């Protein structure tokens, strides 16, 4: 655990190891089920020290005891530490008084980090995958900010390409010609449903009819020309720009609902031209190469596969657009790290794109980290496809959770419904594979869920409101000790800095979820077994409640889960 006392203990133990064995090492001291804390450093240095781990541990314990540290050797060489109750209480008091400074993590201090996630395509509705990556991306961004980083949240999407051409082709057929005045009216969601239906029609036509396919290919070329020339006057252009604007309004409304915001949106029409320029410039041995009228990158020498970056119509593919995006992000932010969060289905694709960039801009490739997640499936469900029109929309999931939350609690609460959704998506390791989403489980207030944590926080705040007493430095009275539940809660609170540091190091929000759930369980047992208001140890227990509120609110903020005053 890396609180103030543990940092001192780490330095102290490191100095002892150097004095006893002449070995320089920074030992890792962690929370333990067998003591307050433990370290396996004796096993790590045993070979260098020329002794068996337990003998090394025993020597270290003797030296630690001489300096007033209570420790013992266990098993093959683990060293378990036990702190005096007074030390733990003093540390808690300091944490409450210093608030966030006590738990500060500075792993990204003075670092510029670009996080790119969600990446919806205009002319399509948002599906559950967009909801998942939006929640995950925002939580990862929060972790970096918590660690002192300057985060720029950005978004990327295809406002040009075949999916747009397919939609525009179907709009033309539906309306009998491009006429912006004949586009549907009504709520933005209804308009987007209408556009999504056209996309499905265009996709089917492209796959089933050679004549339709040829027409769609020509429309695709025209759309590139419209965006390049910034044509707003032709009939097709007016329909295109109107539908694109509706898409962005729809995206904004969705992000507002889930509490996620972006600094910048990069349309593919902007990155395509830059990507095209870079790929053409880097046609050389070992880089991009010409092949049957197209431009490709051969990945086989690197254990990858070959991909096309410019097609034989001279148009940039997704690959070239991603090359342009990476360069555009660098131009805009000069980042230390660019984190790209997507579904796992483009893992191999991204490896080829980054390997191609590595040939001419190795530093950009090195500074880019690709994090992938699986698909979201409902209990008993299957992966769904927007191409076939049987996809699960993001708003459908949000509405299902909201409906279930209202049924459970008897009244709607958007903050609780959002907390349920976010926690359910974040509590599983991002790169663990597909996520099976159980709507009923997500809104439960009894188990490992967002509402359980929100309820626990609301209960702690309610307890605090009932407790009086003057503020001041917290100390145990002479002869007074912590009981089992007080001690376990206190130790769990002081573990937050360690868990936060690990979560930041791995960019792993699920670690925060796991920690907060265990913390809430310990608080529940503490409250069930100890009277806070009016008890003999009211001041001590009040501090425990204050510390719990501080840590739980901090953790929920990292996850993007709103606090509630009552449930």
Residues 57 and 124 in one domain: no
Which three-class secondary structure string do you get for 134-165?
Answer: HHHHHHHHHHHHHCCCEEEEEEEECCCCHHHH
Arithmetic mean of pLDDT, 196-220: 97
Collect all residues with Cβ–Cβ distance below 8 Å to 68 and sequence separation of at least 6: none
85 CA to centre of own chain? 37
- pLDDT given for residue 4 in this prediction: 41
pLDDT: which is higher, 32 or 529: 529
Residues 407 and 522 in one domain: yes
- pLDDT given for residue 102 in this prediction: 66
Residues 273 and 164 in one domain: yes
Structure confidence by residue, pLDDT tens digits, 210-266: 999 999 999 999 999 999 999 999 999 999 999 999 999 999 999 999 999 999 999
Lowest mean pLDDT among 4-13, 385-394, 552-561: 385-394
- pLDDT given for residue 85 in this prediction: 85
What is the secondary structure of 22-64 as a DSSP string?
A: --------EE-SSSSEEE-HHHHHHHHHTS-HHHHHHHHHHHH
Which three-class secondary structure string do you get for 225-262?
Answer: HHHHHCCCCCHHHHHHHHHHHHHHHHHHHHHHHHCCCC
- pLDDT given for residue 273 in this prediction: 93
- pLDDT given for residue 478 in this prediction: 74
Structure confidence by residue, pLDDT tens digits, 396-411: 999 999 999 999 999 9
Does residue 384 form part of some domain? no
Provide the β-strand partners of residue 150: 112
Taking the C-alpha atoms of residue 8 and residue 482, their distance in angstroms, rounded to an integer, is 23
Residue with tokens 């100390």: 475
Which three-class secondary structure string do you get for 373-413?
Answer: ECCEEECCCCCCCCCCCCCCEHHHHHHHHHHHHHHHHCCCC
- pLDDT given for residue 6 in this prediction: 67
Confidence band for 536, pLDDT divided at 50, 70 and 90: confident
- pLDDT given for residue 467 in this prediction: 84
Which residues constitute the domain of residue 30?
4-83
- DSSP three-state, residue 427: coil
- pLDDT given for residue 433 in this prediction: 86
- pLDDT given for residue 35 in this prediction: 66
> Which structure tokens are listed for 410?
């008897």
Residues 155 and 272 in one domain: yes
Structure confidence by residue, pLDDT tens digits, 484-494: 999 999 999 98
Residues 369 and 272 in one domain: yes
Confidence band for 96, pLDDT divided at 50, 70 and 90: low
Does residue 429 form part of some domain? no
Does residue 224 form part of some domain? yes
Taking the C-alpha atoms of residue 325 and residue 541, their distance in angstroms, rounded to an integer, is 53
Lowest mean pLDDT among 62-76, 86-100, 378-392, 441-455: 378-392
Burial class (CB in 10 A: 0-12, 13-18, 19+), 439: middle
Taking 70 as the threshold, does the pLDDT of residue 343 lie above it? yes
Collect all residues with Cβ–Cβ distance below 8 Å to 338 and sequence separation of at least 6: 113, 114, 116, 326, 329, 330, 367, 368, 369
- pLDDT given for residue 89 in this prediction: 83
Arithmetic mean of pLDDT, 353-371: 98
Find, among 516, 513, 483, 502, the residue nearest to 1 by Cα. Answer: 502
Sign of torsion over alpha carbons 143, 430, 131, 516: negative
Residues 374 and 485 in one domain: no
Residue with tokens 């990945």: 299
- pLDDT given for residue 325 in this prediction: 98
- pLDDT given for residue 121 in this prediction: 95
Taking the C-alpha atoms of residue 267 and residue 258, their distance in angstroms, rounded to an integer, is 22
Taking the C-alpha atoms of residue 233 and residue 218, their distance in angstroms, rounded to an integer, is 19
Confidence band for 82, pLDDT divided at 50, 70 and 90: confident
Residues 470 and 361 in one domain: no
Find, among 348, 329, 325, the residue nearest to 337 by Cα. Answer: 329
Give the number of domains in the chain: 3
Does residue 432 form part of some domain? no
Structure confidence by residue, pLDDT tens digits, 466-506: 887 656 566 777 778 899 999 999 999 988 988 999 999 99
Residue with tokens 């045993």: 46
Residues counted in the chain: 567
Confidence band for 386, pLDDT divided at 50, 70 and 90: very low
Task: Give, for 115, the enclosing helix (H) or strand (E).
Answer: strand 112-116
Q: How many CB atoms lie within 10 A of CB 415?
A: 18
Residues 98 and 11 in one domain: no
Confidence band for 146, pLDDT divided at 50, 70 and 90: very high
Q: Which CATH number belongs to the domain containing residue 486 in this structure?
A: 1.10.730.10
Residues 403 and 459 in one domain: yes
Cβ atoms 342, 369 nearer than 8 A: no
Task: Give, for 264, the enclosing helix (H) or strand (E).
Answer: strand 264-267
Arithmetic mean of pLDDT, 354-369: 98
Q: How many CB atoms lie within 10 A of CB 552?
A: 23
Taking the C-alpha atoms of residue 322 and residue 8, their distance in angstroms, rounded to an integer, is 47
Cβ atoms 318, 161 nearer than 8 A: yes
Averaged confidence pLDDT in the chain: 91
Arithmetic mean of pLDDT, 87-110: 78
Taking the C-alpha atoms of residue 331 and residue 324, their distance in angstroms, rounded to an integer, is 10
Burial class (CB in 10 A: 0-12, 13-18, 19+), 478: exposed
Residues 335 and 446 in one domain: no
Q: Which CATH number belongs to the domain containing residue 69 in this structure?
A: 3.30.1360.70
> Which structure tokens are listed for 399?
């509405």
Confidence band for 70, pLDDT divided at 50, 70 and 90: confident
Strands 30-31 and 37-39 turn out to be antiparallel
The proportion of the chain whose per-residue pLDDT surpasses 90, expressed as a percent, equals: 78
Structure confidence by residue, pLDDT tens digits, 284-332: 999 999 999 999 999 999 999 999 999 998 999 999 999 999 999 999 9
- pLDDT given for residue 367 in this prediction: 98
- pLDDT given for residue 538 in this prediction: 86
pTM: 0.89
- pLDDT given for residue 29 in this prediction: 84
Confidence band for 3, pLDDT divided at 50, 70 and 90: very low
Backbone phi, psi, residue 174, to 5°: -65, -40
Collect all residues with Cβ–Cβ distance below 8 Å to 343 and sequence separation of at least 6: 129, 133, 372, 373, 374, 375
Confidence band for 380, pLDDT divided at 50, 70 and 90: low
Does residue 405 form part of some domain? yes
Cβ atoms 467, 545 nearer than 8 A: yes
> Which structure tokens are listed for 184?
């549907």
Taking 80 as the threshold, does the pLDDT of residue 382 lie above it? no
Find, among 3, 97, 86, the residue nearest to 475 by Cα. Answer: 86
Residues 79 and 171 in one domain: no
> Which structure tokens are listed for 351?
């490896």
Provide the β-strand partners of residue 80: 38, 72
Does residue 108 form part of some domain? no
Does residue 28 form part of some domain? yes
pLDDT: which is higher, 217 or 433: 217
DSSP letter for 411, please: S
Taking 80 as the threshold, does the pLDDT of residue 98 lie above it? no
Find, among 138, 174, 240, 147, the residue nearest to 509 by Cα. Answer: 138
Find, among 383, 116, 157, the residue nearest to 251 by Cα. Answer: 157
Residues 403 and 364 in one domain: no
Arithmetic mean of pLDDT, 100-115: 88
Does residue 286 form part of some domain? yes
């Amino acid at each position: 655990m890396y609180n103030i006392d543990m940092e001192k203990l780490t330095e102290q133990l490191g100095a002892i190891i150097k004095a006893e064995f002449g070995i320089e090492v920074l030992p890792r001291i962690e929370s333990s089920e067998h003591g307050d804390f433990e370290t396996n450093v004796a096993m790590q240095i045993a070979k260098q020290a020329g002794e068996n781990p337990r003998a090394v541990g025993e020597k270290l314990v003797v030296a630690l005891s001489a300096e007033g540290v209570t420790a013992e050797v266990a098993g093959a060489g683990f060293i378990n530490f036990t702190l005096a109750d007074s030390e733990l209480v003093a540390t808690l008091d300091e944490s409450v008084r210093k608030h966030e400074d006590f738990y500060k993590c500075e792993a990204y201090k003075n670092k510029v980090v670009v996080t790119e996630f969600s990446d919806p395509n205009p002319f399509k509705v948002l599906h559950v995958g967009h909801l998942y990556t939006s929640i995950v991306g925002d939580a990862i961004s929060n972790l970096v900010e918590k660690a002192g980083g300057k985060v720029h949240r950005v978004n990327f999407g295809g406002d040009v390409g075949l999916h747009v051409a397919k939609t525009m082709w179907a709009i033309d057929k539906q309306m009998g010609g491009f006429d912006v005045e004949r586009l549907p009216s009504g709520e933005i969601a209804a308009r987007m449903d209408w556009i999504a239906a056209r996309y499905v029609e265009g996709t089917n036509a492209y796959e089933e009819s050679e004549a339709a396919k040829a027409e769609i290919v020509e429309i695709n070329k025209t759309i590139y020309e419209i965006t390049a020339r910034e044509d707003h006057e032709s009939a097709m252009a007016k329909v295109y720009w109107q539908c694109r604007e509706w898409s962005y309004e729809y995206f904004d409304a969705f992000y507002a609902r889930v509490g996620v915001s972006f600094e910048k949106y990069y349309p593919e029409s902007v990155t395509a031209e830059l990507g095209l320029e870079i790929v053409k410039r880097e046609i050389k041995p070992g880089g991009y190469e010409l092949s049957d009228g197209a431009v490709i990158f051969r990945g086989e020498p690197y254990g990858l596969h070959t991909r096309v970056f410019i097609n034989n119509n001279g148009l940039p593919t997704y690959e070239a657009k991603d090359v342009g995006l990476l360069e555009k992000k660098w131009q805009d932010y000069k980042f230390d790290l660019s984190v790209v969060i997507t579904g796992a289905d483009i893992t191999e694709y991204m490896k080829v794109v980054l390997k191609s960039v590595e040939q001419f801009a190795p530093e950009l490739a090195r500074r880019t980290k690709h994090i992938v997640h699986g698909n979201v499936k409902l209990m008993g469900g299957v992966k769904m496809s927007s191409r076939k029109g049987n996809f699960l929309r993001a708003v459908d999931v949000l509405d299902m959770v909201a409906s279930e939350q209202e049924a459970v609690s008897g009244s709607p609460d958007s903050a609780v419904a959002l907390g349920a959704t976010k926690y359910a998506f974040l509590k599983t390791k991002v790169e663990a594979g597909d996520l099976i989403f159980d709507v009923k489980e997500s809104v439960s207030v009894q188990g490992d869920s967002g509402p359980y944590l929100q309820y626990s926080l609301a209960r702690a705040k309610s307890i605090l409101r009932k407790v009086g007493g003057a503020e001041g430095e917290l100390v145990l009275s002479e002869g007074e000790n912590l009981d089992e539940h007080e001690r376990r809660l206190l130790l769990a609170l002081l573990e937050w800095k360690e868990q936060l540091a690990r979560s930041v190091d791995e960019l792993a929000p699920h670690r925060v979820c796991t920690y907060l759930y265990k913390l809430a369980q310990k608080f529940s047992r503490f409250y069930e077994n100890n009277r806070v208001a009016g008890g003999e140890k009211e001041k001590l227990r009040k501090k425990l409640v204050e510390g719990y509120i501080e840590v739980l609110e901090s953790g929920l903020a990292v996850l993007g889960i709103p606090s509630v005053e009552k449930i």
